[in-house]
Amino acid sequence: MENTQAQLSKTNGFISAWQRWRERANGKPSLARLNCLPIGAERISVLSSPETFRTTLLAMIAQARQRILMTTLYLQDDEAGQEVLSALYAAKKAQPQLEVAVFVDWHRAQRGLIGKARSAGNAALYREMAQRLGPGVEIYGVPIQRRELLGVMHLKGFIIDDCVLYSGASLNNVYLQRNHRYRLDRYHLLQNRPLADSMAGLLTDVLRNGPSVYSLNTAKAPRTVAIQKAIVKFRRELAKTHYRFGETPLKHGEVGVTPLIGLGVRDNELNAAILQLIQHAEQRLVLFTPYFNLPGPVRKSLDIKIKAGCQVTIVLGDKTANDFYIPPNEPFKAIGALPYLYEANLRRFCRTHQRAIDAGTLNVHIWRDGDNSFHLKGLLVDEHYALLTGNNFNPRAWRLDLENGLLIHDPHKLLLDRHLAELDQILAYTQRLRHHKALDAMDTYPIPVQRLIKRLARVRADRLVNQVL
């Protein structure tokens, strides 16, 4: 017990100054004292599938009357991306007073797909449609770092009038389930004006006015090298940015929702909330992650919870359900080694905690559904807290990318049935891992993967890869 307490004390050192200030100011744990927006439980719904997400998004765009503000890593030049962009232009034409803006990552929008030929990327589609259909739908490129490898704009959320449609999904064929295949994520619809205003305010007041943020609808957008100083300045500004909203006590039938944002390792309120949520868990903790590559503080907090007897459930995709997976019969590319690196991480983690797996206090569920892929993120803590986020729970999200999330505090368990129904639906396509040896060993991997992993390990570059990918 003393050893567990010592580990817990050490892990608490990772809690940011933001948390410690709140604890000193309130005399209570910061998680319970977070400001929140009250929302009627009946105004929050869980969508069941990528297809439902797509049809809901398109219907909301068509019905919009005031604003459509969207944040996503990318809006792809494919059938689904063109469908969404066409819907935005149609909505603007039908309602000229509409404010329509999409915020995407600057770097990701101006390159082709990994492993494909060099191209102008999705920005070429944005320019072509603007030239053909006219102004009114602005697509802004948001650079977080001078190079994509060092950080991307990973904010999530679609604000349409008084609603927030929140998912970790980006916008392309596989995320929106076009052409049969899908990439599973989580999808929540929250109908609340103050929440929509808070999230919209950050986009219109901070992102759109950023010194390095430019419209990608026009060929006049500068080259990255010309705005490098502005990018550095903007990153410093974003590291200090918060969602703005008032505080109102919860009433009967309401839950509290706190929008959070984070960038970097210092005073990152989203990272702080993630650690607090894990540390707060007493009976049950569920973690969804698409890439098993946990940041050190998260890993240590989970270790402590598992040793303390808290029932921990980790839901992640099989390596074949990873979006970087390349079937062995296709030409190998270095990026295709990532799913195997993640599986190796999982094998080591499960070997360490095999006794907890045997006892049933650690449950690792591996998702697989044909050739579809898995992209879920978030937390469920006991019966009172849930985190919706695009954060992948990896070192890159923890240190480099601009991330956000919605923390739901549900003291009266009003949403519990919805959370459990969502979890049951996800677990229906999983298998519980009973022993770490059930995972493939490295000597069973394709020869090119084995060679690359061994080469990385020899120079300890595997640790660097885990930090940035």
94-140 per-position pLDDT tens digit: 999 999 999 999 999 998 766 555 667 999 999 999 999 999 999 99
- Give 407's contacts (C-beta < 8 A, 6+ positions apart): 34, 36, 257, 258, 259, 260, 273, 277, 385, 386, 387
Q: Is 250 exposed, middle or buried (0-12, 13-18, 19+ CB in 10 A)?
A: middle
Beta strands in 263-402 (DSSP E): 284-288, 311-317, 362-367, 373-374, 378-381, 385-389
249 lies in some domain: no
Task: Tell me which of 185, 303, 318, 410 is the catalytic residue.
Answer: 185
Task: Tell me which of 107, 365, 375, 384 is the catalytic residue.
Answer: 375
Residue 324 CB neighbour total at 10 angstroms: 19
Query: Cα(185)–Cα(352) distance, rounded to whole angstroms?
Result: 29
Residues 108 and 8 in one domain: no
8-state DSSP, 116: S
pLDDT at 220: 86
Domain boundary among 238, 253, 275: 238
pLDDT at 115: 53
Instruction: Let me know the angle formed at the C-alpha of 268 by 41 and 189, rounded to the nearest 5 degrees.
Output: 25
pLDDT at 432: 98
Contact 70, 106 (CB under 8 A): no
| 3-state helix, strand and coil shares in percent for the chain, rounded to the nearest 5 | 40, 20, 40
Type of residue numbered 350: C
254 lies in some domain: no
Residues 387 and 279 in one domain: yes
Over residues 28-46, the pLDDT tens digits come to 347 777 899 999 999 999 9
Residues 297 and 174 in one domain: no
Residues 84 and 109 in one domain: yes
Positions in the chain short of pLDDT 50: 1-2, 4-6, 8-29
CATH number for the domain including 145? 3.30.870.10
Name the residue range of residue 75's domain.
42-238
Known active-site residue 375: yes
Domain boundary among 190, 222, 238: 238
Start-to-end Cα distance in the chain: 36
Residue 169 CB neighbour total at 10 angstroms: 25
pLDDT at 14: 41
pLDDT at 459: 57
Task: Tell me which of 154, 353, 409, 436 is the catalytic residue.
Answer: 154
363 lies in some domain: yes
- Pairing mode, strands 183-184 and 373-374: parallel
Query: Cα(27)–Cα(398) distance, rounded to whole angstroms?
Result: 27
pLDDT at 467: 59
Residue 206: how many CA atoms within 13 Å on its side-chain side? 22
Residues 22 and 56 in one domain: no
Q: Which residues pair with 367 in a beta bridge?
A: 317, 430
pLDDT at 167: 98
Task: Tell me which of 77, 254, 303, 403 is the catalytic residue.
Answer: 403
Residues 27 and 71 in one domain: no
Q: How many structural domains compose the chain?
A: 2
pLDDT at 119: 63
Known active-site residue 180: no
Residues 57 and 12 in one domain: no
Residues 133 and 232 in one domain: yes
Tokens of 188: 């929540």
pLDDT at 45: 98
Q: Please report the DSSP string for 176-212 in residue order.
A: TT-SS--EE--EEEEE-HHHHHHHHHIIIIIITT-TT
253 lies in some domain: no
pLDDT at 24: 38
Query: How far is Cα of residue 372 from the mean position of the Cα atoms in its chain?
Result: 19
Residues 297 and 326 in one domain: yes
87 lies in some domain: yes
Known active-site residue 154: yes
Q: Percent of the chain scored above 90 by pLDDT?
A: 82
Residues 184 and 284 in one domain: no
Distance (Å) of CA 199 to CA 46, 138, 204, 315, 379: 19, 18, 9, 28, 21
Residues 217 and 346 in one domain: no
Residues 94 and 218 in one domain: yes
